[in-house]
Amino acid sequence: VTETKGTAVAPPTTATNGRVSSSAQLAPSGAKDTLRFSSELRRTHEVTITRDLLHPGNPALRERIGDRRALVVLTPSVKRLYGRRVLEYFAGEATAAVEFMVLERSEASKSLDAAVEVCERAAAAGLRRTSPIVAIGGGVCTDVCGLAAMLHRRGGPHVKVPTTLVGLIDAGIATKNAVNHLGTKSALGSFHPPEHSLLDIAFLATLPRRHVVNGMAEIIKLAVVSDAELFALLARDGVALVESRFAAPAPVGAEVVRRSVAGMLGELARNPFEVGDLRRRVDFGHTFSPHIEVASGHSILHGEAVALDVALSSQIARELGLLSEDDLDRVLCLMREVGLSLVWPGMSVDALWSTLRAVVEHRDGDLHLVVPTAIGACAYLGIDAISPALLRTSAERLARRSAARPGTLGRRSRT
């Protein structure tokens, strides 16, 4: 995974090489001949941070498509807000055939048939194996298109143009893509990195406040477990960033996104395909949250659920003596200041406990619950470290903190 700034970049390459080896054994009891095929797949994913992405004078997106046929997918609100500019952007004679599609899906309908719908449209548009699917939208759009690209012709390229804050710093630069299935969040998916992610924070200008706050949860999550400097920026300017849709203070919005993207790519680069060691710092806030999202009927957004999980996991760390009271206050204060809730009445201890058991299955037999140990540092907890009693105490303490008036949680961090 590489991060590239600027616009002039060479197209990424995907190289494979395969080997066949044979081990023939003639044993007295019978012959055995095993042929083993092994191969390597090298993927390059370029993340470009740019401005005025849809300005006809900015060639970044057109260059990444090149002379390939492409299917550009927008969700309805992105079409309403940016559709005309997208059409104008691709109207020049330099662009090869680009087809457009409006994907009428939201979190509640982010299912396998959404990906199939995109595949069918890609086939109808005559997309070849090398033709990209270009998703311009939030995480729902980029996830569905990423999975569709994986399915179309057994793995075609895709380009992500995230238009939400969650997209810019997480879904739009992710190596994996998933849809919901049979009531389970992200149950079906693939590891299929995009060729390119093109990021422009100007899209945030039209994003509803709730979705900006939602994205802040993912940034806070990253800052708490891995980047104390980012945390300090958020503690100082987080509220102003939310109010201004990341436009003010001017250099800080771009810096927060750049730091978040670099941090996330750094985490992904450690183990992009999640093979072997399944411990990931970026899973902080992602243990209880999938259950919360589904249990709320998706009335709680992804980032909002992550914030609830971050609060609970941090409180658990406090109960176990792993996190200081002061650092816990700083985390919870920041989340409340930017407008995130710390508790949800629908979270029963029983449901949280059974969620943990299900997560153990998903994480190959262990829990790896990420908990902060300081601002910028974390530890992983096994299932043996957690009990229903610990969950109950933590949830109750958190509820009491949450009920306290703002300002009584602890002193405000300005470091």
Which residues participate in catalysis according to the annotation? 176
Binder among 141, 257, 307, 347 for ligand NAD (CB under 6 A)? 141
**Residue 47, beta-bridge partner list:** 3, 197
Interacting residues with ligand NAD between 352 and 381 (CB under 6 A)? none
Note whether 314 binds ligand NAD by CB under 6 A. no
Note whether 300 binds ligand NAD by CB under 6 A. no
Cβ closest to ligand NAD, residue 294 vs residue 399 = 294
115's CB contacts (< 8 A; 6+ apart) are 144, 147, 148, 151, 179
Rounded to whole angstroms, how far apart are CA atoms 240 and 5? 26
Binding range to ligand NAD, per CB under 6 A, among 70-78, 95-103, 231-239, 248-256: 70-78
Specify whether the CB–CB gap between 39 and 16 falls below 8 A.
yes
Binding range to ligand NAD, per CB under 6 A, among 148-156, 165-173, 239-247, 339-347: 165-173
Binding range to ligand NAD, per CB under 6 A, among 21-29, 49-57, 74-82, 399-407: 74-82
Note whether 167 binds ligand NAD by CB under 6 A. yes
First and final CA of the chain: distance in angstroms?
Answer: 32
Rounded to whole angstroms, how far apart are CA atoms 332 and 316? 13
Report in angstroms how near the CB of residue 352 gets to ligand NAD at its nearest: 20
SS3 content of the chain, % helix, strand, coil (to 5): 45, 20, 35
Report in angstroms how near the CB of residue 166 gets to ligand NAD at its nearest: 3
Note whether 81 binds ligand NAD by CB under 6 A. yes
Note whether 45 binds ligand NAD by CB under 6 A. no
Rounded to whole angstroms, how far apart are CA atoms 332 and 373? 14
Contact letters (x/-) for ligand NAD, 89-128, by CB under 6 A? -----------------xx--x------------------
Binder among 73, 149, 150, 207 for ligand NAD (CB under 6 A)? 207
DSSP 401: H
Cβ closest to ligand NAD, residue 207 vs residue 391 = 207
Both tokens of 257, joined, read 């996104």
Helix axes 325-337, 302-319, angle to 10 degrees: 160
Binding range to ligand NAD, per CB under 6 A, among 132-140, 229-237, 242-250, 351-359: 132-140
Nearest by Cα to 221 from 337, 305, 319: 305
Rounded to whole angstroms, how far apart are CA atoms 383 and 120? 43
Pairing of strands 158-162, 133-137: parallel
Both tokens of 349, joined, read 């201890």
Interacting residues with ligand NAD between 169 and 198 (CB under 6 A)? 170-171, 174, 176-177, 186
How many angstroms separate the Cα of 163 from the Cα of each of 5, 51, 54, 289?
Answer: 18, 13, 12, 23
Both tokens of 166, joined, read 């969650």
Cβ closest to ligand NAD, residue 114 vs residue 381 = 114
Neighbours of 96 (CB within 10 A): 13
Binder among 48, 164, 226, 287 for ligand NAD (CB under 6 A)? 164
DSSP 51: S
Cβ closest to ligand NAD, residue 54 vs residue 230 = 54
Nearest by Cα to 302 from 105, 139, 104: 139
Gyration radius of the chain's alpha carbons: 23
Rounded to whole angstroms, how far apart are CA atoms 57 and 282? 36
Note whether 238 binds ligand NAD by CB under 6 A. no
Rounded to whole angstroms, how far apart are CA atoms 13 and 42? 8
Cβ closest to ligand NAD, residue 278 vs residue 383 = 278
Cβ closest to ligand NAD, residue 81 vs residue 151 = 81
Note whether 283 binds ligand NAD by CB under 6 A. no
Note whether 132 binds ligand NAD by CB under 6 A. no
Note whether 46 binds ligand NAD by CB under 6 A. no
Binder among 158, 160, 192, 211 for ligand NAD (CB under 6 A)? 211
Note whether 287 binds ligand NAD by CB under 6 A. no
Note whether 138 binds ligand NAD by CB under 6 A. yes
Cβ closest to ligand NAD, residue 207 vs residue 359 = 207
Note whether 77 binds ligand NAD by CB under 6 A. yes
Both tokens of 75, joined, read 């969700």
DSSP 94: T
Positions that interact with ligand NAD (CB under 6 A) = 75, 77-78, 81, 106-107, 110, 137-141, 143, 163-164, 166-167, 170-171, 174, 176-177, 186, 203, 206-207, 211, 214, 302
